[in-house]
Structure 1
Amino acid sequence: MSQSSRVTDSAAAEPRPSQEAPLLRIEHLSIDLPGQDGPVRVVDDVSFTVAAGRTTGLIGESGSGKTMTATAVIGLLPPGAAVSGRMLWQGEDLVTMPEQDRRRLRGRGIAMIFQDPQAALDPTQTIGRQVGEILRRGGMPAKEVRRTVIDLLDRVGIPDPETRHAQFPHQYSGGLRQRAMVATALAGSPRLILADEPTTALDVTVQARILALLRRIRDEEGTAMLLVSHDLRVMAHVADEVVVMYAGRICEIGSGHEVFNSPAHPYTRALVVSVPAVRSKTAIAEPLPGSPASPAERPSGCPFHPRCAKAQDRCGSEVPKMRQIAAGRQVACHFPEET
C-alpha cells in the first residue's frame, strides 16, 4: 500500500507480543436465529482466540454478526437461538456448560460493558448499589462493599465518588454512565471484559477518555478484552488483534498494525480507505460501495463479491476458505491483496 494509506495512530503503530495462551478459544461457532421462513444463520463458522492482557477487536458493518458473537460468549443470546461449535474458556466449553455455571461465571470470569448504559443501568437503584451487586452476592460485608465501590468509581475517573455512589443514573452524564458501566464490569475482577460499542453516542473528547481508560485497565490489570465496534478509529486506538466480519463470517484476522496498514481482504481495504482519519490526515475518503449483505439473503460464494471491484467468476460460486498468509495472519479471499 502507499504511504498515504498507512495508519498514523501511534497506539496501532507496533503490535505488542502475546505472552500467554488464549483465555478464550472460539472454534467453528455458528448461531441460528428464528426467522419467518426458518432459521437464519447470523454467525457462520467463526473461529478466533482472545489472549490474556490483550484486546481483540471485532469489527464490521451493522449486521456482520460481531455483537451476536460477543453475546454468545456471555450467554445472553435471544430466545430461540441455536448455537453450534465450541467456545473454550480455559478448557471448558461454554456452549455445553450448564446455565447455573454460566451464571456464576458472569461478572467474575467474564463481564460485559453494554452499548447503551442508560438502558443497561436500573433507573430505580443508585449507581453504588448496582456496581456493588456482584460483591454483595459474593458475601462481602456492607461496609467493605461501600469502600470497594467508592474505590472503583474513583479508579474509573468518576469525580467525588463518595457523593456520586449514592446518586441515580439520571444524575450522571452519558460519559459518567459509561464509566459506571466499566466500574460495574470491574467489580468482579473478571479475566475477560466484553465491550459492545462502548463509545457509541459519546462526543469525541469523552470517547478518548473511555478508550484511554480501557487501555489502562488492560495494561494494569492484565484483563483480556473483546471489543465490538464498527468504528475503525476506535480499533486503531485500542485493538492488539483485529477480527474483521462480514455477513456473519470472518474475512480477515491479524494484528491491528497489519490489518490497518496492509489489509489483505478487499472488504477490509474498503473499510480502511472509507475512513480518512485511520489512514492519514490528508487522505481522501473513498466511500464503500453498495449495501451490507443480509445474513438472511447472503449471496452465494463470497458474500462480499457483489460489492468487490476485484470479484471474478469464482467469487460468486465458491465460498473462500480461511487460510494463513503469514504468521498470525489469516484471510478468506480467493485473490487477497499482497501483504
Structure 2
Amino acid sequence: MAESSSGSDDLLLEVSGLVVDLPGRVRAVRVVDEVSFDIPSATTVGLIGESGSGKTMTANALIGLLPDGAIVGGSLNWRGEELLTATASRRRGLRGHEIAMIFQDPLAALNPTQTIGRQVGEILRRSGKSRAAVRERVVELLDRAGIPAPAEKLGSFPHEFSGGMRQRAVIAMALAGNPSLLLADEPTTALDVTVQARILRLLRSIQEDAGLSMLLVSHDLRVMAHVAHQVVVMYAGRVAERGATSDVLRQPAHPYTRALVDSVPAVRTKTALAHPLPGTPATPSNRPAGCAFHPRCPLARERCRTEQPALRAVAPGRWTACHFAEKVLDA
C-alpha cells in the first residue's frame, strides 16, 4: 500500500465544511454535506465510495464545474486564497493552469473534429507561445504520457486512438498547463484491466516525478491501495472516515469502510471469497436520519438511527464519523 511520500505540512488545498445543493423535483438535494479534508503538496489523496456517495460532485466543486449557487457553504482554501469568494475570472484562470482535471470518459472529453495535437496544445496557444514552441511542447507531453512516436500522432483524431491511448492524450492535455493539482475522476473505469494498470503506473510516475498532488476519485479499493497516500471514504454525501491509506484499509474505524474492504475479493488465493455489502446504498436524496449507514450496519443501535455522528479524531491522523469507532478499531 502506498505510504505518504511527503512529510511536509505545506498544503495546496484545504476543504472545510463543503456543502453542495442541487435542484431536486420538490426541493434542493444536499449532495455534499459538510465535507472536509486536506490535499498536501506532492501527495495523492483518494476519494472512495459507492456510486452516489458524492465523490464526483466534490471533485467538480473543487475545479468550479458546478452550476452557479450550488456551493452553499464551506471553504476552499487554495494556497491561502479563498476560492469561493474569488472572481469568476480568477477561477477560470485557475482551471488548467493550477488545477487540471482528467475526466472519466476520454472519448467524451476529446473533440472528435479536432486533432490530438491541436487539443493538447490549446492551452499553450492561449499563453502566446510560438507555433514551433507549441508543437515541441505537445510532442514532449504526448511522449511523457506514454504515446509512442508522438510527433507522428499530432495529426491523429480521437477515433483513431484506442481507449488507453485516448486516456493518455487526456492526461497530456491535463499536464499542458503545468498544474500543481490533478483531479482524476475514475480515470481507468472504461479500460480493460491490463490498460488500467498501465494508466495507474503512468499517473503514479507523473505524480512522483513532477512533485504534483493528485485527487483520485475511484470506487476501487485496490486502486487506492496502490496509488493513494491518504484516503477519504464517503457515504451518502458525507465523510465516513479519512486517514493514511495503509491505516484506513488495514484497520478501518468505520463499519462502512470495513464492509468495503471485506467486499473486495482477496488476490492472494484463488479460493478467497468476497463478502458483498448488504442492503442498498443510501444516496443524498434518500439519506436516512441519524447515521446514513445504519440500515446496513451490523453495529447499529438506537442512537445510530437518531443521532448523526460527528467526524472526530480516533487516533493520530485518523478521523471517523461513527459512534462506535473504537469498537470497530478493536475488531
Residue 16, structure 1, aligned to residue 5, structure 2:
yes
- Larger displacement relative to structure 2 (271-280 or 316-325): 271-280
**Secondary structure of residue in 1 paired with 2:84:** coil
The residue identity in structure 2 corresponding to 1:338 is L
Instruction: Choose from 255, 267, 284 the match for 2:256.
Output: 267
- Larger displacement relative to structure 2 (71-80 or 247-256): 71-80
Distance 1:280 1:69, change over 3 A: farther
Residue 258, structure 1, aligned to residue 244, structure 2:
no
Residue 224, structure 1, aligned to residue 229, structure 2:
no
1:66-81 to 2 correspondence within 5 Å? 66-78=55-67, 81=70
Instruction: Choose from 62, 85, 88 the match for 1:96.
Output: 85
Residue 139, structure 1, aligned to residue 97, structure 2:
no
- Cα distance in structure 1, aligned partners of 2:283 and 2:241: 19
Distance 1:137 1:88, change over 3 A: same
- Cα distance in structure 2, aligned partners of 1:40 and 1:315: 22
* Contact 1:16 1:240 (8 Å CA) reproduced: yes
Residue 296, structure 1, aligned to residue 285, structure 2:
yes
Instruction: Choose from 240, 261, 275 the match for 1:286.
Output: 275
Unaligned runs of 5+ in 2: none
Q: What TM-score do the two structures reach when normalised by structure 1?
A: 0.94
- Cα distance in structure 2, aligned partners of 1:164 and 1:111: 23
Distance 1:62 1:280, change over 3 A: farther
* Contact 1:110 1:191 (8 Å CA) reproduced: yes
- Larger displacement relative to structure 2 (271-280 or 122-131): 271-280
Residue 338, structure 1, aligned to residue 322, structure 2:
no
- Cα distance in structure 2, aligned partners of 1:280 and 1:320: 37
**Secondary structure of residue in 2 paired with 1:338:** helix
The residue identity in structure 2 corresponding to 1:274 is S
Q: What TM-score do the two structures reach when normalised by structure 2?
A: 0.96
Aligned to 2:235: 246
- Cα distance in structure 2, aligned partners of 1:184 and 1:278: 34
* Contact 2:5 2:42 (8 Å CA) reproduced: no
* Contact 1:240 1:256 (8 Å CA) reproduced: yes
Unaligned runs of 5+ in 1: 1-10
Instruction: Choose from 318, 321, 325 the match for 2:310.
Output: 321
- Cα distance in structure 1, aligned partners of 2:221 and 2:280: 18
Q: Please, what is the CA RMSD of the aligned residues? A: 1.4
Aligned-pair CA distance for 1:79:
5.5
Instruction: Choose from 26, 33, 41 the match for 2:22.
Output: 33
Instruction: Choose from 216, 223, 235 the match for 1:234.
Output: 223
The residue identity in structure 2 corresponding to 1:107 is G
The residue identity in structure 1 corresponding to 2:233 is V
Q: Quote the sequence identity (%).
A: 62
* Contact 1:253 1:329 (8 Å CA) reproduced: yes
* Contact 1:62 1:230 (8 Å CA) reproduced: yes
Summarize deviations over 1:221-249 as a string: whole Å, max 9, x none. Answer: 01000000111111111000000000000
- Cα distance in structure 2, aligned partners of 1:293 and 1:82: 21
Instruction: Choose from 44, 51, 64 the match for 1:55.
Output: 44
Aligned-pair CA distance for 1:15:
4.2
Summarize deviations over 1:116-156 as a string: whole Å, max 9, x none. Answer: 01001000111111111111111111100000000110111
Aligned-pair CA distance for 1:284:
1.9
Instruction: Choose from 213, 216, 224 the match for 2:202.
Output: 213
Runs of 4+ in 1 over 4 A off after TM superposition: 278-282
- Cα distance in structure 1, aligned partners of 2:220 and 2:207: 20
* Contact 2:61 2:71 (8 Å CA) reproduced: no
- Cα distance in structure 1, aligned partners of 2:324 and 2:297: 11
- Larger displacement relative to structure 2 (317-326 or 18-27): 18-27
Aligned-pair CA distance for 1:254:
0.9
Aligned-pair CA distance for 1:80:
5.6
Summarize deviations over 1:192-217 as a string: whole Å, max 9, x none. Answer: 00000000110111001100011111
